[in-house]
Amino acid sequence: MNMDNLGYLFAAYTIIWAFVFGYVFFLYYKQRKLRQQMDLLKDSIGEQPNKDVAKVNTDDNAG
């Protein structure tokens, strides 16, 4: 390989991969954050009816 201007070649490919990995990481981070939010919402929605069911069961037993 001709060695002239190799620094420019290195700089160009480093920038390309830095941007690409940066964007992929940004998407990954966003996905993780959204998953956590989704899990929290699922928990809060899922817990509500369970609590109601538990309350009804307790009331039934008491009655």
Partner 1 sequence: MDGRGALRHYILVGLGFALMVAALYMVFIYVPTDKNTGAVQRIFYFHVPLAWIGFLAFFVVFVCSILYLTKRDIKWDVIATASAEVGVVFTSLVLLTGSIWAKAAWGIWWTWDARLTATLVLWFTYVAYLLVRHYVTEDSQRARLSAVLGIVGFIDVPIVALAVMLWRTQHPGAMIFEGGLAPSMLATLIVCIAAFTVFYIILVTQSTRLKNMETDIRDIKNSKID
Q: Cα–chain-centroid distance for residue 47?
A: 22
Question: Minimum CB separation from partner 1 for residue 57, in Å?
Answer: 25
Report the site for partner 1 in 16-45 (rule: CB under 8 A).
Answer: 16, 19-20, 23-24, 27, 30-31, 34, 37-38, 41, 44-45
| Residue with smaller CB distance to partner 1, 30 or 55 | 30
Amino acid identity, position 7: G
Smallest distance from partner 1 to CB 60, Å: 28
**Per-residue tokens: 18:** 């830095």
- Residue 33's contacts (CB-CB under 8 Å, 6 or more residues apart) are none
